[in-house]
Structure 1
Amino acid sequence: MNQTSTAVVSSISSAVATAPAWGSVARNSRVAVICASWHTDVVHQARDALVGELTQQGMPATQIAHFDVPGAFEIPLMAKRLALSGHFDAIIGCALVVNGGIYRHEFVSSAVIDGLMRVQLDTDVPVLSAVLTPRDFHEHADHLEFFRAHFVKKGVEVAQSCLGAMAQLQRVQALG
């Protein structure tokens, strides 16, 4: 049992050591960020955090383009147009879809995530999501503070996922 654990740890360490550096991916890639215009005080926390993470990893700020759309529902169409433009190596959508008490949020969030996946699969351009649908969101100070902080965390995570996805796709492309 101990040998298996050691072998697994060794295998994981080896995989981590051979993983491509994000610096070269970041320096040579262009990313589009699409933000919904609702709840920008929360949504822009993710945007700013992901831009911060991408630039910290070596991506020049001039290689990150920003687009605003009216709401989350419009993100997949913009993502498709941006992917088809050939100008971007990855696209990230950011939005907060809230429960307004009429169950529309479930439809919107499903449609957005399904649409983003479809764009990704149809265009071969990574499309990532920081489109979040909290179960309980109320516009009072405690919730706003919590979700602003949460969106910062999600912004960093989506930026890292973006860099990781682009790095892995470059590895596959190098295989020929």
Structure 2
Amino acid sequence: MNQTIPNVSTPSSATSASARGDRAPRVAIVSASWHADLVGRCREAAQRELATAGPVDVETFEVPGAFEIPLHAMKLARSGRYDAVLACALVVDGGIYRHDFVAQAVIDGLMRVQLDTGVPVFSAVLTPLAFHEHAVHHAFFHEHLVTKGVELAHACRATLAALRRLEVLSA
């Protein structure tokens, strides 16, 4: 689902999880529409897994491709509305080396968002060594991205819990 992202420019450190009370964590998931049939499996698995561990408020955002994810993640993180941002995409080799540059730019951008805002950002932006549009690869990644979505949710929950512990220690 496409949603409007707030246009704000200040980091959300003043609205950390501890400052928000004991409410359910708010998580934004940004996913690329390129290879939506596969990437959607990752997003949906992450949503399901996040919900199994207790209450969570998840909003999803769709962008055209992986390259657009870091900017959306930055705006979401700076909005002060989210405790975490998750990213899902599949960057594949289309026969040129451009996919390597795209994947590196996306991962570097996501790390920058996390470090600049203090809001944890998690990546299931995958760059398979070999991906071809045939039944065997499609079937493999159809299931593999479910696994990655579950892992994404586990990393998110564990990191948010660890950050809450750090906030308590520093209070």
What TM-score range do you get, normalising by the shorter chain? 0.7 to 0.9
Counterpart for residue 89 of structure 2: 95
Which residue of 37, 44, 53 maps to 2:40? 44
Gaps of 5+ in 2: 1-21
Task: Return the alpha-carbon distance in structure 1 between the equivalents of residues 90 and 117 of structure 2.
Answer: 25
> Equivalences for 1:153-168 in 2 at 5 Å?
153-168=147-162
**1:27 Cα deviation from its structure 2 partner:** 6.0
> Equivalences for 1:107-126 in 2 at 5 Å?
107-126=101-120
Residues 27, 58 of structure 1: 8 Å contact kept = no
Which residue of 133, 138, 141 maps to 2:127? 133
Which residue of 122, 125, 145 maps to 2:139? 145
Task: Return the alpha-carbon distance in structure 2 between the equivalents of residues 123 and 100 of structure 1.
Answer: 33
One-letter amino acid matched to 2:127: T
**1:59 Cα deviation from its structure 2 partner:** 2.5
- SS of residue paired to 1:117: helix
Residues 46, 153 of structure 1: 8 Å contact kept = yes
**Are positions 1:58 and 2:54 aligned together?**
yes
**Structure with higher helix content:** 1
**Are positions 1:32 and 2:28 aligned together?**
yes
Percent identity of paired positions between Structure 1 and Structure 2 = 58
- SS of residue paired to 2:25: coil
Q: TM-score, normalised by structure 1?
A: 0.83
One-letter amino acid matched to 1:164: A
Task: Return the alpha-carbon distance in structure 2 between the equivalents of residues 156 and 27 of structure 1.
Answer: 22
Task: Return the alpha-carbon distance in structure 1 between the equivalents of residues 49 and 23 of structure 2.
Answer: 13
The alignment of Structure 1 onto Structure 2 pairs a total of residues equal to 150
Q: TM-score, normalised by structure 2?
A: 0.85
Task: Return the alpha-carbon distance in structure 2 between the equivalents of residues 99 and 27 of structure 1.
Answer: 42
Task: Return the alpha-carbon distance in structure 1 between the equivalents of residues 70 and 92 of structure 2.
Answer: 18
Instruction: Please list every run of at least 4 consecutive aligned residues from structure 1 whose deviation after the TM superposition is greater than 3 angstroms.
Output: none
CA radius of gyration, larger in: 1
Output one character per residue of 1:34-64: Cα deviation in whole Å (capped at 9) or x when no partner: 000100111011001000100111134xx10
